[in-house]
Structure 1
Amino acid sequence: MTRPTSIKLDDDLKGRIQHLADARQRSAHWLMREAIEQYVEREERQEAFRQETLNAWEDYQATGLHATAEEMEKWLASWGKDDEVSAPRCHK
């Protein structure tokens, strides 16, 4: 179910949105909804990444398990080559 929501925009921004909507042959409503949806999706991905990072840090603090940057770089550099190496194992 969709429900209307109001938003206050200054005249300049409202005019810019309308100009872009006209150029794209879309309504200002469509343009604003699309912009908000893209913003929310991007921010949700960023928040999920932040949470994964915090969880990984907590796991590392609890276990001490890790792979070094050198080990990771060696693995990544081998991708797609005949002598591709396996992912490094975590260690203390």
Structure 2
Amino acid sequence: MATSLKIDEMLKDRVQHLASQRRRSSHWIMLEAIRQYVEREEARERFKQEALASWVAYQETGRHLTGREVGIWLDTWGTRDERAVPECRE
């Protein structure tokens, strides 16, 4: 699928300058920028959908952890005393 982009001269010059610094083609720089943007936005959308699903589950069940409980648990990650996920409360 061929796609064309129209970019202003200033941006075009910036891309070309960066491409030359990185010893890459302008095409490669633009593809990489688009790939990173799409991956970031897809991750953001997944996070948003998980948050919405969590909110729905909380409204249905009332089960939750406090921020303090989560913080204490996370502080143990990577230590000898790493704890299991705390039990949710109602």
- Short-chain TM bin: 0.7 to 0.9
Which residue, out of 61, 64, 67, partners 2:62? Answer: 64
> Residues of 2 paired with 1:13 and 1:82: CA distance?
51
Is 1:50 aligned to 2:48, yes or no?
yes
Gaps of at least 5 residues in structure 2 are none
Unaligned runs of 5+ residues in structure 1 are none
SS state of the match for residue 63, structure 2?
coil
Partner of 2:72: 74
- Identify the residue that residue 13 of structure 1 maps to in structure 2: 11
The alignment of Structure 1 onto Structure 2 pairs a total of residues equal to 90
Q: 1:78 to 1:10 in 2, by over 3 A?
A: same
What is the one-letter code of the residue matched to 1:77?
A: D
Q: TM-score, normalised by structure 1?
A: 0.86
Q: What is the percentage of aligned positions where both structures have the same residue? A: 53
In the alignment, the residues of structure 1 paired with residue 3 and residue 22 of structure 2 have an alpha-carbon distance, to the nearest angstrom, of 23
What RMSD over aligned residues (CA atoms) do the two structures have, in Å?
A: 1.5
Amino acid at match of 1:76: L
